[in-house]
């Protein structure tokens, strides 16, 4: 059973190929067309996925699209179907008008057969079902409670459900315009940042706020949660549902919190406090919702998805703030992961079975061997090139010597976080580490933190967490142990936390060995890890991308496989 998953017309379009419930290949279009958050149809990603599977499009059993447009056309007026309009609209208009005749709403999934010669069936999957695929059907669990929260889907903004095998029972849904994701986006825009893109800047800013915060209570008053786990917003404070107003916030919101910040204005304590209040309210409301879900489901396992669960600060607190004992979060709970999710969901529904192992790696993208990396370097005729026998040991020594490294190995990660295959690395002991990388390499705001990548076997020695805690995708934030935080200032955020990645040898052997060598040399089993890209650009995909980025910033050394390039 081969299913091609596609998500398009979202913030980061992508494609994935699933075979018998396993991910064969998956990648976002932005890595190929080099346009950050590319929203074009993912043609290049699709072609690459098919190539990796060794098949043509006609050999795919079914195509899964991570959005069901029939829901969007349920209420289109009948007068829109006219001879003077584009005939291609009949593909939507005829079903839309027949729904009115039948007095019926759209189906959960809609399939088009024989769209073109040799075409596989094309099924449009409900967007939140695609998110369920990206969480529960990747978890490997036989049953779990499910939660999806984001800005909005076709009409939903929240889903609470229970899964048993391939059966999904919906417990509660919230529909647009009531949305926690758009609440967070409203604050993001109010603070002068881009909604649907810069929410993690707001998450980082909150750590700089004073403890006495006057904004928590008025913001919390804007959200109400009912006994079934549904929530509602006090909509008079918002304008995101008003197509005639570019603001997401209303005049009443301004009355409560003061004037909005312009993009280039100085950040003040008022801005820090509103950012912190937004995070506090988000955590409070989401924890309340999940606690209701635990009571209604009777489950101790929770699988989550949706852009709201890119909030790694809250993710690290779920088992602390709710009764759930285990939580699964994939590497890509945002919309980019719905290509994988739509394909896995459709595969499970069609076959009546689901994968039985938990996915704890996401190296699903283009891969390059050491020989291919060397070939790319030779074509560019670069100076300062050596081939090293043990790149991990050599890179560890470079870190100790104070160099900033570009680290390019194996298959590219899927998701918005670099996990040791397309990474920029630095010695975390450097006092100036965060400032140097932000200013001279990433070219971004100085307040933004960097991730500590730590040997999994040492995680509880450095963080306040259990010894068996695993964070393979940087999806959770934990507090550093106070006595350890001073040793690695470059990766400790203002509040003493770190968005960590636990690294295991079986997942990323060369990367694990690098950190192990650095530990042997310094006694610190941690390196600073950030994505291998410049601000405003997507993460590098190919050796050529890595070389171009290397010579465009203050990186000192680049490792392409076992090829070392020094400036």
Domain segments of the chain as ranges:
2-127, 367-566
pLDDT confidence band for 74 (50 / 70 / 90): confident
The SS3 call for residue 431 is coil
CA nearest neighbour of 274 among 168, 349, 190, 156: 190
| Kind and range of the H or E run holding 62 | strand 62-65
Half-sphere exposure of 13 (CA within 13 A, CB side): 19
Number of H helices and E strands in the chain, helices first, is 20, 24
Q: What pLDDT is stored for residue 308 in this prediction?
A: 98
Q: What would the pLDDT profile of 172-213 be if each residue is shown by its tens digit?
A: 999 999 999 999 999 999 999 999 999 999 999 999 999 899
pLDDT confidence band for 460 (50 / 70 / 90): very high
Topology of domain 2-127, per CATH? Nucleotidyltransferase; domain 5 (3.30.420)
**Of 68-72, 119-123, 358-362, minimum mean pLDDT range:** 68-72
106-122: average pLDDT: 92
The SS3 call for residue 422 is strand
Has residue 84 got a pLDDT over 60?
Answer: no
Q: What pLDDT is stored for residue 85 in this prediction?
A: 58
Contact 16, 53 (CB under 8 A): no
Q: Please give the Cα distance from 165 to 103 (Å, whole number).
A: 33
Q: What would the pLDDT profile of 489-511 be if each residue is shown by its tens digit?
A: 999 999 999 999 999 999 999 99
pLDDT confidence band for 80 (50 / 70 / 90): low
349-366: average pLDDT: 93
Q: What pLDDT is stored for residue 92 in this prediction?
A: 77
Q: Please give the Cα distance from 101 to 32 (Å, whole number).
A: 44
CA nearest neighbour of 500 among 419, 423, 432: 419
Q: Domain 367-566 has what CATH class?
A: alpha beta
In sequence order, what DSSP letters do the residues of 78-133 get, joined into one string?
Answer: GGG--TTS-GGGHHHHHHHHHHHHHT----SEEEE--SSTTPPPEEEE-HHHHHHH
Q: Read off the pTM.
A: 0.95
Q: Please give the Cα distance from 7 to 64 (Å, whole number).
A: 9
């Amino acid at each position: 059973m081969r299913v091609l998953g596609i998500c398009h017309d979202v913030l980061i379009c992508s494609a994935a190929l699933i075979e018998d419930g396993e991910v064969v290949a998956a990648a976002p279009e932005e890595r190929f067309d080099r346009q950050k958050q590319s929203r074009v149809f993912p043609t290049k990603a699709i072609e690459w996925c098919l190539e990796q599977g060794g098949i043509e499009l006609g050999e795919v059993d079914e195509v899964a699209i991570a959005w069901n447009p029939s829901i969007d056309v349920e209420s289109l007026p009948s007068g829109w179907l006219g001879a003077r309009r584009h005939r291609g609209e009949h593909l939507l208009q005829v079903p839309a008008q027949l729904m009115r005749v039948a007095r019926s709403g759209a189906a959960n999934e809609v399939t088009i057969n024989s769209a073109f010669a040799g075409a596989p069936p094309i099924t449009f999957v409900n967007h939140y079902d695609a998110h369920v695929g990206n969480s529960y059907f990747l978890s490997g669990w036989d049953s779990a409670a499910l939660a999806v929260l984001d800005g909005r889907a076709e009409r939903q903004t929240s889903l609470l459900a229970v899964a048993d095998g391939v059966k999904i029972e919906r417990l509660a849904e919230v529909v647009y315009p009531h949305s926690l994701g758009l609440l967070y986006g409203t604050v993001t825009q109010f603070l002068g940042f881009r909604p649907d893109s810069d929410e993690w800047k707001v998450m980082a800013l909150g750590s700089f706020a004073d403890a006495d915060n006057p904004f928590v209570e008025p913001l919390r008053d804007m959200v109400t949660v009912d006994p079934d786990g549904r929530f509602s917003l006090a909509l008079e404070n918002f304008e995101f549902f008003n197509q005639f107003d570019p603001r997401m916030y209303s005049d009443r919101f301004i009355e409560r919190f003061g004037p909005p910040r312009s993009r280039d204005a100085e950040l003040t304590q008022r801005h820090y406090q509103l950012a912190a209040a937004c995070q506090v309210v988000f955590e409070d409301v989401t924890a309340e919702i999940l606690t209701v879900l635990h009571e209604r489901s009777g489950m101790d396992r929770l699988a989550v998805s949706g852009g709201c669960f890119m909030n790694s600060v809250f993710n690290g607190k779920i088992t602390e703030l709710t009764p759930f004992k285990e939580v699964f979060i994939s590497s890509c709970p945002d919309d980019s992961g719905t290509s994988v999710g739509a394909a896995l969901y459709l595969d499970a529904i069609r076959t009546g079975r689901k994968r039985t192992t938990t996915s704890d790696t996401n190296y699903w993208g283009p891969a390059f061997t050491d020989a291919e990396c060397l070939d790319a370097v030779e074509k560019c005729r670069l100076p300062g090139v050596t081939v090293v026998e043990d790149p991990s040991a050599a890179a560890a020594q470079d870190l100790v010597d104070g160099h900033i490294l570009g680290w390019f190995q194996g298959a590219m990660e899927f998701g918005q976080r670099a996990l040791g295959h397309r990474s920029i690395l630095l010695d975390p002991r450097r006092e100036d580490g965060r400032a140097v990388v932000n200013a001279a390499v990433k070219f971004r705001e100085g307040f933004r933190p960097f991730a500590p990548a730590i040997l999994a076997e040492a995680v509880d020695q450095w963080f306040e967490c259990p010894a068996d805690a695993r964070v393979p995708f940087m999806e959770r934030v934990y507090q550093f142990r106070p006595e350890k935080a001073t040793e690695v200032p470059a990766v400790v955020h203002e509040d003493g936390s770190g968005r960590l990645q636990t690294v295991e040898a079986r997942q990323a052997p060369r990367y694990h060995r690098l950190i192990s060598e650095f530990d042997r040399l310094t006694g610190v089993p941690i390196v600073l890890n950030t994505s291998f890209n410049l601000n405003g650009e997507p993460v590098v995909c190919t050796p050529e991308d890595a070389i171009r980025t290397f010579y465009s910033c203050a990186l000192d050394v680049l490792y392409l496989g076992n090829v070392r390039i020094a400036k």
